[in-house]
Chains A and B, each alone.
Chain A
Amino acid sequence: MAKNLKEILVDNSNDLVHMWLEEVAEKQKEVTNSAISQDLFENTNREFVNIIFGSVEKESLTSDLDSFTERVINLGWPLSYLTDGLQLFKRVAIEFLIEHEELDVSVPKVLRHVDELVNPIINQLVNEYSGSWENTVSLQRVALQELSAPLIPVMDNITVMPLIGTIDTERAKFIMENLLDGVIKHHAEVVLIDITGVPVVDTMVAHHIIQAAEAVRLIGSTCILVGIRPEIAQTIVNLGIDLSKFPTKSSLRKGFTTALEMTNQMIVQTNSEEQTIEELIDSLDRSEQS
Chain B
Amino acid sequence: MRIPILKLHNYLLISIQIDLDDQTAIQFQEDLLNKIHQSGATGVVIDLTSVDIIDSFIAKVLGDVVTMSDLMGAKVVLTGIQPAVAVTLIDLGIHLNEVTTALDLEQGLIKLRQELEE
Binding site for B on A (CB under 8 A): 176-177, 180-181, 183-184, 187-189, 211, 214-221, 245
Interface size in chain B (residues, C-beta < 8 A): 20
30 A-B interface contacts by CB (under 8 A): A177-B83, A177-B87, A180-B87, A181-B83, A183-B103, A184-B82, A184-B83, A187-B104, A189-B107, A214-B95, A215-B83, A215-B86, A215-B89, A217-B101, A218-B78, A218-B81, A218-B85, A218-B89, A218-B96, A219-B80, A219-B81, A219-B83, A219-B86, A220-B78, A220-B79, A220-B81, A220-B101, A220-B107, A220-B108, A245-B97
* B 63-83 contacts with A by CB, 8 A: 78-83
Q: Kindly report which residue of chain B lies nearest to residue A222, judged by CB atoms.
A: B101
* Bound-state Cα–Cα, A189 to B111, Å: 11
The interface residues of chain B lying within 8 Å CB-to-CB of A188 are 103
* Bound-state Cα–Cα, A288 to B26, Å: 83
The interface residues of chain B lying within 8 Å CB-to-CB of A217 are 101
Binding site for A on B (CB under 8 A): 78-83, 85-87, 89-90, 95-97, 101-104, 107-108
Q: Kindly report which residue of chain B lies nearest to residue A177, judged by CB atoms.
A: B83
Q: Kindly report which residue of chain B lies nearest to residue A211, judged by CB atoms.
A: B90
Given contacts A220-B78, A220-B80, contact A215 B103 (CB under 8 A): no
Across the A-B interface, give the 7 residue pairs with the lowest CB-CB distance, nearest first: A180-B83, A220-B102, A220-B101, A215-B86, A218-B86, A220-B103, A219-B81
**Which secondary structure dominates chain A's binding surface?**
helix
Minimum CB–CB distance from B39 to chain A (whole Å) comes to 25
The interface residues of chain B lying within 8 Å CB-to-CB of A189 are 103, 107
Q: Kindly report which residue of chain A lies nearest to residue B54, judged by CB atoms.
A: A218
Q: Is the CB of B103 within 8 A of A184?
A: yes
The interface residues of chain B lying within 8 Å CB-to-CB of A187 are 103-104
The interface residues of chain B lying within 8 Å CB-to-CB of A176 are 87
* Bound-state Cα–Cα, A183 to B104, Å: 12
The interface residues of chain A lying within 8 Å CB-to-CB of B78 are 218, 220
* Bound-state Cα–Cα, A176 to B83, Å: 9
Q: Kindly report which residue of chain A lies nearest to residue B97, judged by CB atoms.
A: A245
Q: Kindly report which residue of chain B lies nearest to residue A213, judged by CB atoms.
A: B90
* Bound-state Cα–Cα, A89 to B104, Å: 74
Q: Is the CB of A218 within 8 A of B90?
A: yes
Q: Is the CB of B107 within 8 A of A215?
A: no
Minimum CB–CB distance from A173 to chain B (whole Å) comes to 9
Q: Is the CB of B86 within 8 A of A180?
A: yes
Given contacts A180-B86, A180-B87, A220-B101, 13 further A-B contacts (CB under 8 A): A177-B83, A177-B87, A183-B83, A189-B107, A214-B90, A215-B87, A215-B89, A215-B90, A218-B81, A219-B80, A219-B82, A219-B83, A221-B101
* Bound-state Cα–Cα, A184 to B83, Å: 8
Minimum CB–CB distance from B15 to chain A (whole Å) comes to 15
The interface residues of chain A lying within 8 Å CB-to-CB of B102 are 220
Minimum CB–CB distance from B112 to chain A (whole Å) comes to 12
